[in-house]
């Protein structure tokens, strides 16, 4: 397989974009997300649970998640990143693992991202972020997915 330098550079920039997303969420800095999501971006979390249209709505949701839910010591781990580039559009998918503490209890969650990115004004932006979450669970219940998953209303 031959990959030209422009495609390789795009894949690297998009992988870095995903990593910056993880750090911004873990650090609780929604202002850094404004530099990651396109103005017209769309985000879903578990289809039917959360649906945000536009950067402002996405940032508002993340502000609540980062500051109001009581989750402390958030750590996202991103793995199996796969980036496919087609001109000024790209697709990125990856698995994530999330550890955190809430109300004195350790929790773990996992899932996957299916993102679409576009090259605009010389840089890549996330235009669609689809998050499928398979958790979280408390560590005393395990992590293998055998126990009932908590619904988003129980995450707080």
Is pLDDT of 93 > 90? yes
Q: What is the pLDDT of residue 154?
A: 65
Distance between CA atoms of residues 69 and 104, nearest Å: 13
How far, rounded to the nearest angstrom, does the alpha carbon of residue 21 sit from its chain's CA centroid? Answer: 6
Q: What is the pLDDT of residue 57?
A: 97
pLDDT in tens, 94-148: 999 998 888 888 888 899 999 999 999 999 999 999 999 987 777 665 555 455 5
Write down the pTM of the prediction: 0.85
- The structural domains of the chain, ordered by start, are 5-154 (3.10.450.50)
Cβ–Cβ under 8 Å, residues 95 and 112: yes
CA-closest candidate to residue 20, choices 6, 5, 35: 35
- Proportion of the chain above pLDDT 70, given as a percent: 88
Cβ–Cβ under 8 Å, residues 106 and 99: yes
């Amino acid at each position: 397989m031959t990959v030209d330098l422009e495609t390789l550079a795009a894949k690297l920039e998009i992988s870095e974009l995903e990593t910056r997303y993880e750090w911004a969420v873990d650090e609780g800095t929604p202002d850094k997300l404004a530099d990651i999501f396109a103005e017209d971006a769309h985000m879903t979390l578990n289809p039917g649970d959360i649906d945000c249209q536009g950067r402002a709505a996405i940032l508002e949701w993340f502000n609540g998640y980062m500051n109001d839910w009581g989750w402390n010591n958030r750590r996202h781990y991103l793995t199996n990143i796969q980036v496919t580039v087609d001109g000024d559009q790209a697709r990125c998918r990856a698995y994530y693992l999330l550890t955190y503490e809430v109300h004195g209890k350790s929790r773990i969650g996992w899932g996957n991202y299916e993102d679409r990115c576009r090259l605009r004004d010389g840089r890549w932006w996330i235009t669609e972020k689809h998050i499928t979450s398979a958790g979280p669970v408390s560590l005393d219940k395990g992590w293998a997915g055998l126990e009932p998953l908590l619904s988003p209303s129980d995450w707080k």
